[in-house]
C-alpha cells in the first residue's frame, strides 16, 4: 500500500475520541433506568467484535498501522456505548426518558457511521464516494456564491471586529441613555403628583409606581455606567487608523504572505514560460512567414494562454494551500472581468480579427487616424502606423483603437501629407509661411519677418493648405477705359504680356518665371477687363506676397507708356 499523507491527523482524531468518550446519561428518577457506564473494558452484548489484526500482506507500516489501531479502539468504545444505550432503552418505562435515550442513540450511531467510513477509507486507501448513497440536490447558484464569499466576508469581518464592537457599544449606550432619561422624567412627574393632595388609595398606587420606576431608573443608570465604562475603555485602548492598518497588513502577510508569494511566482513562471515559448517559435519560423495567418494565430494563442495559464497556476497554488480567501478573490476578479466583457464582446471580436489581419483594417493600406493619413505597417497586439512625410511619423497604439475604422489601398500617387518640411504654404485663413516642422501632433510655420505660428495637425489640415513649393500661379484682373475698345481683343493683351515677361524676371529671377498669359475677359460696367496669369516655379514662393503688387505695377507702367487710360468706377445720376 502506498503511504498515506494523513496518518498523523487521523491518529490524533482517533486518540481524542478514545480519550473523551460520550458522557454517561443523567440519572433519571425512574428506578427502572440504570445509568450507562462511561467506558467498558469489552464490547456489549450487541457490539461488533473487534476487527482482526491486519495480515502482513496488506498491513500498513509505521504510523498508518498505529492510526488504524487507534481508530479500532475508538470504534470499540463507541459500539460499547451504543449497546449500553440500547439496554437502557429496553428497560426504560418513562416516555421522556426513552425519547432522550433515542435521541442520544441516534447521535451515537451517526458518530459510529462516520468513524467507520474514516476507518474504511484509511485502511483501503481508495475513494469510497462511489459506494456512498448520493443525495440528489438541485443546483443553487446563490448558495454557491455565498460559499465562495464566506471566507472573504469572514476576513473583512475579522478586520473590522473592533470597530463593530465600538459601534455596537455606542448604539447600546445611546439607547440606555434615552431610556434612563425617560425613566428619570417619569420619576420626577410621579414625585410632583405625590406632593399634591390625593386620596389614600391613589397615593398608595402612585407610591407603588414610583418605587417601580425608581428601581428601573437606578437599574438603567447602572447599566449606562457599565456600558460607558466599556466604551471609554475600548476607545482608550484603540489604536490609530494607521496602526490598525499596519497591524492588519502585518498579520495578513504573516498568515497569507507565503501563499500570495507562491501564487505570484506561479503566475510569473507560467506567464513567462509561454512568452519564452512564443519567442522560440518565432525564431524557428522561416523568414518571411511572420505575416501569415497561422503565424498570427499562433502568437495570439501564446499570449492568451500565457494569461489564462498564469491565473490557473495561481489558483492551483491557492487551492493546494487551502487559502480560500485568496482563491475567492481571484475567482471574483475573473467573474467581474467576464461580466464586464459581455458588453464589449463585439468589440473584442473585432479586435481579434484585426490582430489576425482579417478585419476592416489591413496591413499596408491607407487609413485616416486622428484626421491624419497613415499607412498601416503592422497589426498584432499593437498597431504600427507610419506617415513618411511627418517628423516622428510612427505611431504605436493598441490595436483596439482601430476597431470600427476602415482602411483602403493607397492610390498610386496619393500624397501622405499636403506638404513637407521646408515647403511654403498658404492657408485658407490667409496665413502664409514656410513649414518649419510637422509631426503627428502639430505643424509649425515660420512667418516672413521671423515670426512663427503652430497649428494642431488636424486643424492645419482643416485649413486646406496650398503648397507653393511645387509651383504656383498669380491671377490678376486689370481694367482699361472703353475708348481703347478697338485694341482690346488682341493688341493690348500682347503688349501687356510682353511687359510682364520683361519685368517679372527682375523681381523674382530669370529662371523662376515659367510663363505669362494675358487675355480679354469681359466688358465690365466701366472698364474693359483683362485677366493676367503669371506662373512661377516653387523657388519664387518666398516672394508670393509681393508678386501681385509687382504684376499690377508693371501693368500700370505699360498703360502709361502707351497712353491707355485706367478707368475708375463711375456713377451716373439721372435728373427727373
What is the CA angle 309-313-318, rounded to 5?
A: 150
In a domain, 151, yes or no: no
Question: How many domains is the chain built from?
Answer: 5
- Domain holding 460, by residue range, is 424-467
In this structure, what are the phi and psi dihedrals at residue 383, rounded to the nearest 5 degrees?
-110, 145
108, HSE (Cβ side, Cα atoms, 13 Å) = 25
Whether residue 169 is found in the same domain as residue 120: no
Whether residue 98 is found in the same domain as residue 212: no
In a domain, 1, yes or no: no
Whether residue 300 is found in the same domain as residue 316: yes
In a domain, 419, yes or no: no
Q: How far apart are CA 14 and CA 67, in angstroms?
A: 7
Q: What stretches in the chain show pLDDT beneath 50?
A: 1-60, 571
Whether residue 219 is found in the same domain as residue 274: no
Q: Please report the pLDDT score of residue 5 as a whole number.
A: 40
User: Which grid cell is 258?
Assistant: 507565503
Q: Which of 186, 219, 238 is the last residue of a domain?
A: 238
Q: How far apart are CA 555 and CA 561, in angstroms?
A: 10
Whether residue 17 is found in the same domain as residue 95: yes
Which CB contacts under 8 angstroms, 24+ apart, belong to 102-107? 104/22, 104/25
Q: How far apart are CA 18 and CA 76, in angstroms?
A: 9
Whether residue 252 is found in the same domain as residue 191: no
Query: Mapping DSSP to helix (H, G, I), strand (E, B) and coil, where does residue 242 land?
Result: helix
Q: Please report the pLDDT score of residue 240 as a whole number.
A: 61
Q: Please report the pLDDT score of residue 118 as a whole number.
A: 80
pTM: 0.52
Return the axis-axis angle of helices 293-321 and 324-343, rounded to nearest 10°. 150
Whether residue 19 is found in the same domain as residue 113: yes
Whether residue 463 is found in the same domain as residue 479: no
Which CB contacts under 8 angstroms, 24+ apart, belong to 434-441? 434/542, 437/391, 438/389, 438/390, 438/391, 439/390, 439/391, 439/392, 439/393, 440/370, 440/372, 440/387, 440/390, 440/392, 440/393, 440/395
User: Which grid cell is 395?
Assistant: 505611431
pLDDT digits (tens, 9 = 90+) for 451-478: 899 999 999 999 999 999 999 999 999 9
Whether residue 457 is found in the same domain as residue 488: no
Kindly tell me the sign of the dihedral angle through the C-alpha atoms of 405, 411, 416, 418: negative
Q: How far apart are CA 386 and CA 440, in angstroms?
A: 10
- CATH number of the domain enclosing 525: 3.30.70.100
Whether residue 515 is found in the same domain as residue 532: yes
Query: CA torsion 348→353→357→360, rounded to 10°?
Result: -90
Q: Which of 467, 494, 522 is the last residue of a domain?
A: 467
Whether residue 432 is found in the same domain as residue 506: no
Q: Please report the pLDDT score of residue 488 as a whole number.
A: 84
Query: Mapping DSSP to helix (H, G, I), strand (E, B) and coil, where does residue 167 land?
Result: helix
Q: Please report the pLDDT score of residue 24 as a whole number.
A: 36
333 near 374, Cβ under 8 Å? no
Q: Which of 343, 361, 396 is the last residue of a domain?
A: 343
pLDDT digits (tens, 9 = 90+) for 309-353: 999 999 999 888 888 778 888 888 888 888 887 877 788 888 888
Contacts of 143 (CB under 8 A, 6+ apart): none
Neighbouring-strand partners of residue 202: none
In a domain, 390, yes or no: no
Whether residue 477 is found in the same domain as residue 550: yes
- CATH number of the domain enclosing 179: 1.10.287
In a domain, 104, yes or no: yes
Q: Please report the pLDDT score of residue 433 as a whole number.
A: 94
In a domain, 179, yes or no: yes
Q: How far apart are CA 176 and CA 181, in angstroms?
A: 9
Q: Which of 322, 547, 511, 516 is nearest to 432 (CA)?
A: 547
H-helix or E-strand containing 398?
strand 394-398
The CB density around residue 299, as the number of other CB atoms within 10 Å, is 19
In this structure, what are the phi and psi dihedrals at residue 567, rounded to the nearest 5 degrees?
-75, 170
33 near 94, Cβ under 8 Å? yes
Q: How far apart are CA 356 and CA 354, in angstroms?
A: 5
In a domain, 538, yes or no: yes
In a domain, 297, yes or no: yes
In this prediction, what percent of the chain has a pLDDT beyond 70? Answer: 78
Amino acid at each position: 500500500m502506498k503511504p498515506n499523507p494523513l496518518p498523523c491527523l487521523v491518529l490524533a482524531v482517533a486518540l481524542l475520541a478514545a480519550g473523551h468518550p460520550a458522557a454517561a446519561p443523567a440519572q433519571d428518577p425512574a428506578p427502572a433506568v440504570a445509568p450507562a457506564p462511561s467506558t467498558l473494558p469489552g464490547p456489549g452484548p450487541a457490539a461488533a467484535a473487534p476487527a482482526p489484526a491486519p495480515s502482513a500482506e496488506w498491513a500498513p507500516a509505521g504510523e498508518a498501522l498505529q492510526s488504524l489501531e487507534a481508530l479500532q479502539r475508538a470504534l470499540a468504545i463507541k459500539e460499547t456505548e451504543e449497546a449500553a444505550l440500547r439496554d437502557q432503552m429496553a428497560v426504560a418505562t418513562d416516555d421522556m426518558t426513552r425519547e432522550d435515550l433515542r435521541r442520544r442513540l441516534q447521535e451515537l450511531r451517526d458518530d459510529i457511521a462516520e468513524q467507520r467510513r474514516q476507518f474504511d477509507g484509511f485502511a483501503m486507501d481508495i475513494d469510497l464516494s462511489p459506494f456512498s448513497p448520493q443525495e440528489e440536490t438541485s443546483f443553487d447558484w446563490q448558495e454557491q456564491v455565498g460559499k465562495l464569499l464566506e471566507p472573504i466576508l469572514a476576513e473583512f469581518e475579522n478586520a473590522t471586529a473592533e470597530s463593530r464592537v465600538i459601534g455596537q457599544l455606542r448604539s447600546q449606550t445611546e439607547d440606555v441613555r434615552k431610556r434612563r432619561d425617560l425613566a428619570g422624567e417619569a420619576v420626577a412627574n410621579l414625585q410632583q403628583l405625590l406632593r399634591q393632595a390625593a386620596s389614600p388609595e391613589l397615593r398608595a398606587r402612585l407610591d407603588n409606581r414610583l418605587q417601580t420606576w425608581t428601581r428601573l431608573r437606578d437599574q438603567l443608570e447602572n447599566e449606562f455606567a457599565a456600558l460607558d465604562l466599556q466604551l471609554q475603555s475600548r476607545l482608550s485602548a484603540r489604536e490609530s487608523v494607521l496602526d490598525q492598518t499596519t497591524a492588519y497588513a502585518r498579520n495578513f502577510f504573516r498568515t497569507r504572505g507565503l501563499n500570495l508569494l507562491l501564487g505570484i511566482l506561479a503566475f510569473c513562471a507560467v506567464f513567462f514560460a509561454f512568452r519564452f515559448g512564443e519567442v522560440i517559435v518565432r525564431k524557428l519560423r522561416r523568414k518571411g512567414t511572420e505575416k501569415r495567418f497561422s503565424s498570427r494565430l499562433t502568437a495570439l494563442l501564446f499570449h492568451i494562454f500565457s494569461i489564462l495559464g498564469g491565473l490557473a497556476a495561481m489558483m492551483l497554488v491557492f487551492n493546494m494551500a487551502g487559502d480560500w480567501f485568496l482563491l475567492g478573490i481571484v475567482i471574483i476578479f475573473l467573474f467581474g472581468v467576464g461580466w464586464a466583457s459581455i458588453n464589449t464582446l463585439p468589440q473584442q471580436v473585432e479586435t481579434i480579427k484585426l490582430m489576425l489581419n482579417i478585419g476592416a483594417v489591413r496591413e499596408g493600406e491607407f487609413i485616416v487616424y486622428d484626421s491624419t493619413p497613415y499607412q498601416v505597417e503592422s497589426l498584432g497586439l499593437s498597431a504600427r502606423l507610419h506617415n513618411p512625410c511627418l517628423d516622428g511619423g510612427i505611431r504605436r497604439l493598441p490595436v483596439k483603437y482601430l476597431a470600427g475604422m476602415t482602411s483602403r489601398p493607397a492610390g498610386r500617387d496619393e500624397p501622405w501629407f499636403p506638404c513637407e518640411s521646408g515647403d511654403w504654404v498658404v492657408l485658407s485663413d490667409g496665413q502664409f509661411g514656410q513649414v518649419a516642422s510637422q509631426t503627428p501632433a502639430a505643424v509649425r510655420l515660420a512667418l516672413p519677418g521671423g515670426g512663427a505660428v503652430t497649428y494642431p495637425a488636424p486643424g492645419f489640415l482643416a485649413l486646406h493648405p496650398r503648397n507653393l513649393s511645387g509651383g504656383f500661379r498669380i491671377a490678376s484682373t486689370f481694367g482699361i477705359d472703353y475708348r481703347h475698345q478697338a485694341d482690346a481683343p488682341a493688341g493690348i493683351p500682347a503688349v501687356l504680356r510682353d511687359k510682364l515677361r520683361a519685368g517679372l524676371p527682375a523681381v523674382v529671377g530669370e529662371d523662376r518665371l515659367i510663363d505669362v498669359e494675358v487675355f480679354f475677359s469681359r466688358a465690365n460696367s466701366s472698364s474693359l477687363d483683362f485677366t493676367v496669369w503669371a506662373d512661377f516655379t516653387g523657388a519664387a514662393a518666398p516672394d508670393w506676397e509681393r508678386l501681385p503688387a509687382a504684376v499690377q505695377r508693371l501693368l500700370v507702367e505699360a498703360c502709361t507708356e502707351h497712353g491707355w487710360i485706367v478707368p475708375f468706377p463711375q456713377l451716373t445720376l439721372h435728373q427727373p
